[in-house]
Homo-oligomer: A and B are copies of this chain.
Amino acid sequence: MKRIPLILMGCGGVGRQLLEHIVSCRSLHAKQEVSLRVVGVCDSKSLLVASDVFTRELDDNFLREVIRVKSNGSSLLTLRSFGECHVYSNPESTREITDIAGLLGKSTGLAFVDCSASSETIGVLNRVVDLGCCVVLANKKPLTSSLEEFDNLVSQPRRIRHESTVGAGLPIIASLNRIISSGDPIRRLIGSLSGTLGYVMSEVEDGKPFSQVVKAAKSLGYTEPDPRDDLSGTDVGRKALILARLLGYRIDMDNIKIESLYPENMGPNVMSVEDFLADGLPLLDKNIQERVTRASSKGNALRYVCVINDSRCEVGIQELPKDTALGRLRGSDNVLEIYSRCYNEQPMVLQGAGAGNDTTAAGVLADILDIQDLFS
């Protein structure tokens, strides 16, 4: 039986879902002769660690309590007296994590699983990588920081996995890594990597006003609480940067041309969400409708995509032929088209749900299982 000790960072929707998956997959993983030992769990404020990280773990009852407590919006500290564990608060917790990484990293191995959406994990992750630990990320921030930090994080490429940073559980990163390692040069990537913007663009294609579609998306829970977080394109930009760096592009967020779907004078610093939805958004309808009509007259569809080729990385609206995988896209699925020597005229296409806690956590879990050969 292979044992993978891990520390979960981030107990939001994805982190809690991952814990649920881990608990419910116990017998499946036992059949595969692998066992996931959760030795620690942390959120932005506190860290809970098994009483002895070498021999103990946080058992399934404890993990269910973590899920319950965090679902209620309570602090991990409320679990202080539940079961045998040590509790640390910031900044003590950071020191403790580094200590554990030093102890386990080079002996039994240890995986840090970052399901947060925070940039505060970057420092710790860079330290634990240096200590020989593995890293599994759903969090995009550690890979979209400075090139120096990126280089350090991926310096042991077999010890890092990050499928769920792009397209949730869709096997985008795994597939690109396979193509790269087979020496098939990737010439061009083009993808719709935001379920929200994919939905918005396919709805406006049907003639619905942009403002109405965005409001509908918000009420369906497809958008962030402030839809401008989606419409700005920043999140797609991060995914584009992760893909571009995977292809070897030496670029930063600053090098990516990102088209925002609202003008600066409607930004969060200028108007509230309510004002944006009521007064700002409708002013954008006419322009989008004109672009849709113009594209359609040429047999094209408008899609909000990232395009990576010829050392360029761009994010924004593009006109694409309606008879391609991207042009045909409906609803909130993600789609990526990969062009290479082997996939030359017709691309390799990966398509499917690219968001949701269940799918994202499933991608993280598959990543954890995929590093098992590094553990003894």
Contacts and interface: CB of A to CB of B under 8 A. Distances in A.
Contacts of A163: 178
Interface in A176-217: 178-179, 181-184
A296 to B, nearest CB: 18
Contacts of A341: 358
A373 B158 contact: yes
A353 B358 contact: no
Interface string A120-149: 000000000000000000000000000000
Nearest to A369: B181
A300 to B, nearest CB: 17
A328 B328 CA distance: 10
Interface in A323-355: 325, 328, 331, 333, 338, 341-343, 346-353
Contacts of A171: 171, 174-175, 178
Contacts of A21: 182-183
Interface stretch (A68-76, A233-241, A282-290, A360-368): A360-368
A343 B353 contact: yes
A347 B349 CA distance: 13
A346 B333 contact: yes
B372 A158 contact: yes
Interface string A300-340: 00000000000000000000000001001001010000100
A169 interface: yes
Contacts of A272: none
B328 A362 contact: no
A356 interface: yes
Q: What copy number does this chain have within its complex?
A: 2
Interface string A146-180: 00000000000110000100000111001100110
A99 interface: no
B358 A183 contact: no
A370 interface: yes
A155 to B, nearest CB: 11
A336 to B, nearest CB: 11
A281 B331 CA distance: 43
A108 to B, nearest CB: 16
Contacts of A333: 346
Given A25-B183, A369-B182, A342 B350 contact: no
Contact of A183 (B348, B365, B371): B365
A32 interface: yes
A271 interface: no
A169 B183 contact: no
Nearest to A185: B28
Contacts of A179: 169, 362, 366
Top 3 nearest A-B pairs (CB, nearest first) are A348-B352, A373-B373, A25-B183
Given A28-B183, A346-B353, A371-B373, 18 more contacts: A28-B181, A32-B157, A32-B181, A158-B373, A171-B178, A174-B175, A179-B362, A181-B369, A182-B362, A182-B369, A183-B365, A331-B346, A333-B346, A338-B352, A343-B359, A348-B352, A349-B351, A349-B352
22 contacts: A21-B183, A24-B183, A163-B178, A169-B179, A169-B182, A169-B342, A170-B348, A171-B175, A174-B174, A179-B366, A181-B369, A182-B363, A328-B328, A342-B353, A342-B356, A342-B362, A347-B352, A348-B350, A349-B349, A349-B352, A351-B351, A371-B373
